[in-house]
Structure 1
């Protein structure tokens, strides 16, 4: 699109999608890396046909694996994408406005894109995996476009107060959970998986029917991450990830506080899942709630940590000098939608009871699932790097952009 010089900016309908040169490294590196944690979490769900996807009676190294998974991965990876989704909304709107697009045109593009995300999510949940987040992102994106994006700085400070109250609530509930451990007196309760019928279905047709029943409930449950998305909107307005070295002090505080809450909040249930902590059913319920509550802090915590790392990496080197692994992982981050959907296809083929069902074919279901997760993520990194070399955005990204912007 070409613009003629004039004394005043000319209103345009909209500009096309972002170019590679406009992308910041930190968001893409975060997305690409966090897809590994998403893979580890979801393979566990598939292999054990339920959540949280761990062996309730682990042995040997499985105990350490369960501890790490429950403390650092489960309920801690998806909040990263929630923050990044809010961040991306602001980036998209900012680029459109800088091109001269009208406020109405920007709103139209965002509403269109997020509406298509809901469609993507419905297709994903119907055909592949009930634990879809795309539709929820689309719904929250529509809400954010209508109610949050065109607000001033004073309004967006509200989310900081909400987040502060959540920190206090997490600390108070953490104390209650510790008291539940101390006062535990009943029979020891093992951590068990809550069965998802679609993951245990013995044929594909039955799994579709089950997913159509499970998906609405899952989507309604995760819509609560609108506050985390809003936090991403606030961060994007401050351009924290574009200029991490300019915000080092803030990012250090966020990483320290949020990751501290995430790790400490997930550790007790991690110890239960590893067989080191034995408490009654009531205490396990409280520890499970604390685990999920503290998981939301993993989003800003992990992102701040990566932003600090990127700030150090780029202090003396350009992006092209960062090395092949970092460039390849960031290439996956640029194609995170395709990477996410690719994972769901592979889990269905490799782990479902009516396909290869690899989770039951080796000695350890947990390590089989984790090995598959790492292997599939590695394949997706290699594929994304090849796409980057050939200037191909990725199939899902290309389709979404075509639907949003037209040809």
Structure 2
């Protein structure tokens, strides 16, 4: 008998594809989250409608190509970390299921989220509330306490499909061994991104002002269509970036190393984004939600992401993991030693 203990994978042994995908998708997360803080005389889907042609064009680009994915109390009430925690509980329950049952459950959840929803029609014109833009610290804590709980409990429904598909993909090492899954990844990239772009157009054209706001019955159809096809777009982006990473292979330049370093420190970089949104948009701090436009907010999001890429690359060069990744690993791998024969 001998004993071994599970531990984190060494950085040198990590596959490029997943790290590169996380690093790039953090830009999309920044672009997707930041515009929801904006205020205006008319809000539609989180985008001010009294906008310039440039803002309308940026709105169309974001709605078409950006896939809609204690931090929630202090920084961003719509944060996803609490949802991930709930999904981990789901994962502990289903991780030993057979592939076919995971796929069936993922399909059921996907179909459920694609069904017409009256909630979408009623929420699309809502401006940011006091949970997003609290006037003072007391309101922030009181309003976000309820909001975080609500998001944590119901949010995982929208994430469950990609989470379950991810379990199956991880089990078969689809992203780590792309040479064995080239056809699957190629089909996923082409179909996923193609369907996502087409499915986004009804809402993207409305949000950008190119089409008039339809009635509630139409919104109840095209809203969930946008969200559901966006999930497929997420699969497509992951597959495309994995194929690019495989093509790059060992020929990594400075940019690829920096993006991979960002993916390796994705939680830390994500939380940095939340800190920036809190400082820039909170009414009792900089209070720029009524000043910035969709286009300038997109520049802010891109600049914030670039800063995290630089910081992550600096940590890579000095051999440091992200502080929040260190914390997660200490909790994750603090477990009894496993016996092996």
Whether TM-score is above 0.5 comes out as yes
Q: Which residue of 2 aligns with 1:157?
A: 100
d(CA) in 1 for partners of 2:209 and 2:201? 12
Aligned to 1:197: 130
Alpha-carbon distance between aligned partners in 2 of 1:27 and 1:65, rounded to the nearest angstrom: 28
Work out which of the residue numbers 46, 56, 60 in structure 1 matches 2:53. 60
Q: CA deviation at 1:15?
A: 2.8
Q: Is the 8 A contact 1:332 1:380 kept in 2?
A: yes
* Separation (CA, whole Å) in 1 of partners of 2:332 and 2:35: 34
TM (normalized to structure 1)? 0.74
In 2: Cα distance, 1:341 partner to 1:167 partner: 28
SS of 1:297 mapped into structure 2:
helix
Structure 1 or 2, whichever has the larger Rg, is 1
Q: Distance in 2 between matches of 1:208 and 1:367?
A: 30
Structure 1: runs of 5 or more not aligned? 1-8, 79-122, 178-188
Matched, 1:219 2:174: no
- 1:373 equivalent in alignment to 2:301: yes
Does the aligned pair in 2 maintain the 1:358–1:368 contact within 8 Å? no
Q: Show structure 2 runs of 5+ residues with no match.
A: 336-341
Q: TM-score, normalised by structure 2?
A: 0.87
Write out aligned runs for 1:260-299 (5 A): 260-278=194-212, 279-299=214-234
1:370 is displaced (CA, Å) by 0.9
Q: Distance in 2 between matches of 1:196 and 1:301?
A: 33
Give 3-state SS (helix, strand or coil) of 2:131's partner: helix
Deviation of the 1:163 alpha carbon: 5.0
Q: Which residue of 1 aligns with 2:339?
A: none
**Deviations along 1:44-92, whole A, 9 cap, x unmatched?**
11234988421223321111111111112151xx2xxxxxxxxxxxxxx
What is the distance in 1 between the residues matched to 2:109 and 2:87?
20
Q: Is it true that 1:338 corresponds to 2:268 in the alignment?
A: yes
362, 371, 382: which one pairs with 2:310?
382
SS at match of 2:181: helix
Indicate conservation of the 8 Å contact 1:351/1:358, yes or no: yes
2:62 equivalent among 37, 55, 69? 69
CA distance in 2, matches of 1:219, 1:196: 18
Alignment match, 1:232: 166
